[in-house]
Structure 1
Amino acid sequence: MSTALALCLAMVLDAVFGEPKWLWDRVPHPAVLMGRLIGGADRRFNCGAARKAKGILLVIVLVIGAAALGLVLRQIPLVEILLGAVLLAQKSLVEHVNAVARGLERSLAEGRYAVSMIVGRDTSELDEAAVARGAIESAAENFSDGVIAPAFWFLVAGLPGILVYKVVNTGDSMIGYRTERHREFGWAAARLDDVLNLIPARLTALLLFPWGKPLSLWREIVTEARRHRSPNAGWPEAALSRSLGVALSGPRAYHGEMRDYPWVNPNGREATPRDIDAACARLWAAWAFVLICVAVLSFA
């Protein structure tokens, strides 16, 4: 079976079944196992001298281990497809984003609670537009690193590729923050995650670009992506903001501290729950286009 066909089947399985609660209540999700491993290494080795060197060594071990595990597991029939489906996150992403819109329809408090499940900023004081912005930003960023990037690395290198990507991405999410504790130990995980997302983030921007509108919008997307706080997240954010016509990003608070981030599409209108629904529809349209392209590749 070709890698493209395996990815095609994995994408369909993920879209149909998502993250079945009955399963992950009984056995740990692979991402949870990765998190436990990285968390244990953080507690054990992120201390004393040479923290940056220790962090680099950890990433090397994680990459080699994930690649080797992938090479072994891909020999077992159907495992590559099943594990690929588990490591993709299209259905669960849309469900979590959609939950914010449904929460806002009931009350602002429920919308705040739902968005707090998918963003890291302070949510207790957000108004409706800020809650909707948070959901849409999460949709854009996580479509890139939770769907397109894993699919890209699966297509490039099969099961070893997607496992390497996911363990590095998990490492970045856990120790890649520029805090005093993780500035050195998490440096390698953060930088390698930036590298692995370089191409997928730009592909995601193309997928979310509002085709049919002037191509001059692409220059605006490039400009805003380059001044974004992340080297990659700004690309899908800027593209989706143009597709929906809404302003994204802007100032927000983390742990009680306001941060004056620049606006993405500053001339756009305020986001609403309807825009969250539109964002979810846009993600499914982009996903379907990718599925068709992968299906064509599988029979080429």
Structure 2
Amino acid sequence: MSLIIAIVLALGLDYWLGEPKRLHPLVGFGSLADGLEKWFNSVEGLPVKQRDTLLKCKGTLALILAIGPLSFAAYSLEHTLASNEALSPLFAAVVLYLAIGWRSLIQHAKAISAPLYEGDLITARVAVSHIVSRDTQDLNEQEIAKAATESVLENGADALFAALFWFIVAGVPGVVIYRLSNTLDAMWGYKNPRFLHFGWAAARFDDLLNFIPARLTALAYTLCGSINGQTQNAWRSWRQQAGTWKSPNAGPVMAAGAGAIGVELGGSALYHGQNQHRPPLGSGSAPMAASIDDACNLVHYSLALWLAVICLLAVMGAV
């Protein structure tokens, strides 16, 4: 029962308060990660032949130093408070609240769809630039909607469902490890000369932690596609298209999500001045402003499904 209480409290805090505007722990963690990266990510003095391997080792050590102490602290606090029936779920709820980004995701999405409905492409381009890494200054209405819809579907898994999964499986330490590793992947997981080898461990560890949650999210998206009569489309898209995507975890999530709301995503996109052609995801109409709202609703429906399953498992004594 304490698990359910903690989850409900965390979601309630996120819904009413959103992300902390000041003193968010992840901001401090980002500064720590920056310091570790500057300290460890150097090829000076490394033998040329072993340079790539040694950078991977240094990146792995930096990953352990960034995550290990904080995860141990989370475990220690959870263990210390375990016997306190009031403080234990409250502590867990606060940690989970800081790890999820449900309201923030929806707010960012609405800040894009609202100006799109009004035909205000300038405002929509600025808003979408806050949540995607592609070039946005010349995007048309359909391209803005596609970028935003993709982001909502993918980040629904990362910012909400994966955090819930690891909280259920491993409690406070689990959600702390997941959120910190996901943050490091966002900071170090780039395939560019600076991070290709140093960020290898962070990227692979995040892929590992997201493997099961991503597929559970895709399953929820598929089942909730029945609300729009798109379950078969979602399942077919997941089965046929997920493996074509560059990310092993984003592929199932985005393919199933696109199929569930009846749109086709993917296609060409401009990143850092270079056009990339990406495989199609989903099947249906071209994305428009309404597609962003449909993606947000799909996240809401999927969350309701997750909560129903969690409550059922709790009643059965499985969690």
Task: Report the equivalent of 2:50.
Answer: none
Task: Report the equivalent of 1:232.
Answer: 249
CA distance in 2, matches of 1:214, 1:91: 26
Aligned partner (choices 35, 57, 62) of residue 61 of structure 2: 57
Higher RCO, Cα 8 Å, sep 6+:
1
Matched, 1:255 2:268: no
The two structures have a TM-score, normalised by structure 2, of 0.87
Aligned partner (choices 148, 152, 162) of residue 135 of structure 1: 148
Per-residue CA deviation, residues 209-254 of structure 1 (Å, 9 max, x unaligned), is: 1235464752431221111011111111111111221111211111
Aligned partner (choices 33, 38, 46) of residue 38 of structure 1: 33
Task: Report the equivalent of 1:280.
Answer: 296
Task: Report the equivalent of 1:120.
Answer: 133
Amino acid in the other structure paired with 2:185: D
Task: Report the equivalent of 1:242.
Answer: 259
CA distance in 2, matches of 1:206, 1:166: 22
The two structures have a TM-score, normalised by structure 1, of 0.92
Task: Report the equivalent of 1:173.
Answer: 186
Instruction: Go from structure 1 to structure 2 and tell me whether the alpha carbon gap of 1:214 and 1:17 turns closer, same or farther (over 3 Å shift).
Output: closer
Worse overlay, 244-253 or 153-162: 244-253
Unaligned runs of 5+ residues in structure 2 are: 47-53, 82-86
Task: Report the equivalent of 1:7.
Answer: 7
CA distance in 2, matches of 1:83, 1:244: 32
Which of 1 and 2 has greater Rg?
2
Instruction: Go from structure 1 to structure 2 and tell me whether the alpha carbon gap of 1:46 and 1:139 turns closer, same or farther (over 3 Å shift).
Output: same
SS across alignment from 2:133: coil
Unaligned runs of 5+ residues in structure 1 are: none
Shift of 1:73: 2.8
CA distance in 2, matches of 1:259, 1:72: 46
Matched, 1:182 2:195: yes
Q: Report if the CA contact (8 A) 2:230-2:259 is conserved.
A: no
Aligned partner (choices 141, 150, 163) of residue 150 of structure 1: 163
Shift of 1:154: 0.5
Number of aligned residue pairs: give it.
294
Instruction: Go from structure 1 to structure 2 and tell me whether the alpha carbon gap of 1:276 and 1:213 turns closer, same or farther (over 3 Å shift).
Output: closer
Q: Share of identical aligned residues, percent?
A: 38
CA distance in 1, matches of 2:267, 2:136: 14
Amino acid in the other structure paired with 2:139: L
Task: Report the equivalent of 1:94.
Answer: 106
Q: CA RMSD for the aligned pairs?
A: 1.7
CA distance in 2, matches of 1:114, 1:213: 29
CA distance in 1, matches of 2:131, 2:291: 17
Matched, 1:294 2:306: no
Q: Report if the CA contact (8 A) 1:4-1:155 is conserved.
A: no
CA distance in 1, matches of 2:15, 2:256: 23
Worse overlay, 70-79 or 31-40: 70-79
CA distance in 2, matches of 1:192, 1:93: 23
Worse overlay, 213-222 or 71-80: 213-222
SS across alignment from 1:250: strand
Shift of 1:299: 4.1
Shift of 1:278: 1.6
Q: Report if the CA contact (8 A) 1:11-1:291 is conserved.
A: no
SS across alignment from 2:278: coil
Worse overlay, 273-282 or 137-146: 273-282
Aligned partner (choices 110, 132, 137) of residue 123 of structure 2: 110
Shift of 1:206: 0.9
Matched, 1:163 2:180: no
